[in-house]
Amino acid sequence: MRRLTAMKRLSILRHAKAEPPEQHPGDSARPLAKRGEKDAVLVADFLNLIVPPVDWILSSPAVRAEQTAKIVAKRITGDRPLIYDEQVYEADAGLLLALLKAIPPEQEHVLLIGHNPSLESLVAGLCSGATGTLECRLTTAGMAHLHLEIMRWDQIRWGAGVLQLLVQPRVLRKR
């Protein structure tokens, strides 16, 4: 008899390219650069190819992440909540993991939009069992897509993920 395994999907997206920090009063106020807007569209269109579709978006409220989230949410298919959580902005990988544990269990594919270095550490921890043990580089608008060997989000833990895709916008620009 074949064993059936339940799986959740997690797409981890670093915000798209922002304007330089010296042009804005604070780091969280930096908007997307023109290239960032274009890259967010490319990543959103790529996300439409992934099954099941995104059904929950959790984002940092920093302007560049919020703008990335809005572009992506507008372009991907289906209706889904778009949640901004202040904690995502300065979270470390451990806090991001805790935030993911609170996702409602019926959600199948979550998109997390945030910042480095915590996103890279989150990918490393989910895929290798501990943060800092796997080198994963997320450029601006870079996305990691993972399959998680869990049935409910409150079961997420270090080592539960398998990296399926690592997408950089420069590759999508060449398509």
**pLDDT at residue 166 in the model:** 96
| CA 108 distance to own-chain centroid | 14
Q: Is residue 91 part of a domain?
A: yes
**pLDDT at residue 79 in the model:** 82
**pLDDT at residue 4 in the model:** 34
Assess contact for 13 and 72: CB atoms under 8 A.
Answer: yes
Q: Is residue 2 part of a domain?
A: no
Residue 22 pLDDT grade (very low, low, confident, very high; cuts 50, 70, 90): confident
Total count of domains within the chain: 1
**pLDDT at residue 111 in the model:** 98
pLDDT over 80 at 130, yes or no: no
Residue-number span of the structural domain to which 68 is assigned: 8-173
Q: Is residue 3 part of a domain?
A: no
CA 51 to CA 57: how far, in whole Å? 15
CA 51 to CA 107: how far, in whole Å? 13
Residue 16 pLDDT grade (very low, low, confident, very high; cuts 50, 70, 90): very high
The most distant pair of C-alpha atoms in the chain lies apart, rounded to whole Å, by 62
* Mean pLDDT, all residues of the chain: 92
**pLDDT at residue 108 in the model:** 95
Q: Is residue 149 part of a domain?
A: yes
CA 91 to CA 65: how far, in whole Å? 14
Encoding tokens for residue 86?
A: 């202040």
Q: What is the pLDDT of residues 142-172, one digit of tens each?
A: 999 999 999 999 999 999 999 999 999 999 9
Q: Is residue 1 part of a domain?
A: no
Q: What is the pLDDT of residues 44-56, one digit of tens each?
A: 999 999 999 999 9
**pLDDT at residue 121 in the model:** 95
Residue 3 pLDDT grade (very low, low, confident, very high; cuts 50, 70, 90): very low
Q: Is residue 23 part of a domain?
A: yes
Average pLDDT over residues 18-33: 88
CATH number, domain containing residue 110: 3.40.50.1240
Distances, alpha carbon 161 to alpha carbons 76, 83, 156, in Å = 23, 23, 9
* Amino acid present at 155: Q
Q: Is residue 136 part of a domain?
A: yes
Assess contact for 154 and 106: CB atoms under 8 A.
Answer: no
Average pLDDT over residues 90-115: 97
Residue 5 pLDDT grade (very low, low, confident, very high; cuts 50, 70, 90): very low
Q: Is residue 117 part of a domain?
A: yes
